Amino acid sequence: MSPVDGRLPGDSGTAVADDRPGDDRFNAKPFVRATDPELAALLDAELDRQEQTLELIPSENLASPAVLDALGSWLNNKYAEGTPGKRYYGGCQVVDQIEILARDRAKELFGAEHANVQPHSGTQANMAVYQSALEPGDRVLGMALDQGGHLTHGSPVSFSGKIYHFEPYFVSEETGVLDMDAVRRRALEVMPKMIVAGYSSYPRILDFPAFAEIAKEVNALLLVDMAHFAGLVAGGAHPSPVPHADFVTLTTHKTMRGPWGAIILCKAQHADSVDKSVVPGVQGGPHPHGMAAKAVMLHQCLQPEFRTYARQVVANAAALARGLRARGAVLTTGGTENHLMVIDLRPYGLRGRAVQAAFDEAGITVNANTFPGHGGTPFNPNGIRLGSPSVTSRGMQEPEMDEIAGLIVALLEDLEGRATRESVRGRSLDLCRRFPLPYRSAA
Ligand code: DSN
């Protein structure tokens, strides 16, 4: 991001012209302010919180002013159930063009044969893929939640675990890293109809060719859920699963830096069943404003600046991991190859909930997270998950990552210390002020 003009990399237009000459940061709410002061005050409060905290939750990021502009538009007013040229509603001429634009950009960005840009979230995207290819009770092999996977990869509390027969594969107990020979053995035991590769808290690059080979050997379909690392793939900072998988799902609000939502990519032979599975299978009307914002995001991801951003996300995560390890922190798998990492809290004698709350007070947002063999509970695990996407969007680089590593370890070593907490709060606030957000309140 350029802190000077408030744009994010790839956002080539002027952000918004309004009542403050020379200030083109995004001003979300002059009309809300005029209509609903109570809600406007809450928007201000959340902007203050975002401005004044270091956001290290790896699934969060900053959408550009251009993305927010498209999202907050009159496209919100349109129903468009169906797909371009095959709608259940009249008046879809323009929405058709918007959806086609977004689909074409997604195909171009990822080199995919087909794209569906309608899913409202990663969960809906995975649900639609399962429904397009599986029958209830079919066997699926996925990474369980406590191994780094996601709720929709077969958790018993999710529709995925209730409708389909998921079996887990495991990371190595010694290293925390996936052993593809072990995954292959599990696949031969389970003989699944589908294999799901993907994670929400695994800090390593997945071996997509090996997953594809295993899927072929057991005659299974391969779904790669790249919700977390899609932006790194888009920016050329991570290998792409697209050539290897039958289906790829991604969310648009994480490393892609777009609006809340998701996209499904698939081989041409699955296009029809995926489209029908999204609507009417698991969703009603798509969100035209969301699809337009996804189109803007995809345009930004196609710009050279986004490649710089994606590389910096990975470099920043590596610098943060280095800084943490140099100060004695233990990271699962020993480090990171992507945008995220998990700190083992056991050496500090701490649990995730207390750490998350103390960090909140010190102006650093993280989330408590399980990791394999940790011994904690899902609600109070023994790890915290950190990531670099959002602070990288603010313009921070390796020196700031090292500074943040120092703040994190200082807090972990003295979680209850009032003076430490206050000192960290002061230094996190100073970093936030040096790297402002591209938004502003109207006040
Ligand atoms: N809840 C998201 C995350 O934080 O990783 C995944 O859906």
Give me the count of residues in the chain: 443
Considering only CA atoms, which of 162, 316, 295, 138 is closest in space to residue 223? 138
Q: Which pLDDT belongs to residue 167?
A: 97
Residue with tokens 């918007």: 98
Mean pLDDT over 24-36 rounds to 80
Distance separating alpha carbons of residues 393 and 398, to the nearest angstrom: 13
Q: Which atom of ligand 1 is nearest to the CA of 121?
A: 7
Q: Which pLDDT belongs to residue 14?
A: 40
Least confident of 19-28, 321-330, 363-372: 19-28
Q: Which atom of ligand 1 is nearest to the CA of 228?
A: 5
Ligand 1 centroid, distance to 200 Cα (angstroms): 6
Q: Which pLDDT belongs to residue 23?
A: 67
Is residue 26 over pLDDT 80? no
Could you tell me the strand order of the sheet in which 165-169 lies? Answer: 114-116, 262-266, 247-251, 221-225, 194-198, 139-143, 165-169
Q: Which pLDDT belongs to residue 83?
A: 96
Conformational region of residue 418, where left means phi above 0, alpha means psi within -120 to 50, and beta covers everything else: alpha
> Ligand 1: does its nearest atom lie under 6 Å from the Cβ of 244?
no
What is the identity of the amino acid at 289? H
Q: Which pLDDT belongs to residue 16?
A: 39
> Ligand 1: does its nearest atom lie under 6 Å from the Cβ of 369?
no
How high is the mean pLDDT of the chain? 93
Q: Which pLDDT belongs to residue 17?
A: 37
Q: Which pLDDT belongs to residue 376?
A: 76
Q: Regarding predicted confidence, which is higher, 22 or 388? A: 388
Q: Map out the domains of the chain as residue ranges.
A: 74-301, 306-434
- How sure is the predictor about 28, in pLDDT bands with cuts at 50, 70 and 90? low
Q: Which CATH class is domain 306-434?
A: alpha beta
Q: Which pLDDT belongs to residue 32?
A: 87
Tens-digit pLDDT profile for residues 31-74: 888 899 999 999 999 999 999 999 999 999 999 999 999 999 99
Tens-digit pLDDT profile for residues 261-273: 999 999 999 999 9
Residue with tokens 């290998």: 239
| Greatest distance between any 2 Cα atoms in the chain | 66
Considering only CA atoms, which of 305, 301, 317, 150 is closest in space to residue 233? 301
Please indicate whether the domains covering 74-301 and 306-434 agree at the CATH topology level.
no
Q: Which CATH class is domain 74-301?
A: alpha beta
- DSSP states along 266-335: E-GGGHHHHHHIIIIII-SS--HHHHHHHHHHHHHHTSHHHHHHHHHHHHHHHHHHHHHHHTT--BGGGS
Predicted structure pTM score: 0.94
> Ligand 1: does its nearest atom lie under 6 Å from the Cβ of 150?
yes
Ligand 1 centroid, distance to 57 Cα (angstroms): 9
Is residue 292 over pLDDT 50? yes
Is residue 5 over pLDDT 50? no
Q: Which pLDDT belongs to residue 13?
A: 42
Q: Which pLDDT belongs to residue 27?
A: 74
Tens-digit pLDDT profile for residues 382-425: 999 999 999 999 999 999 999 999 999 999 999 999 999 999 99
**Residue closest by Cα to atom 2 of ligand 1:** 59
Q: Which pLDDT belongs to residue 4?
A: 36
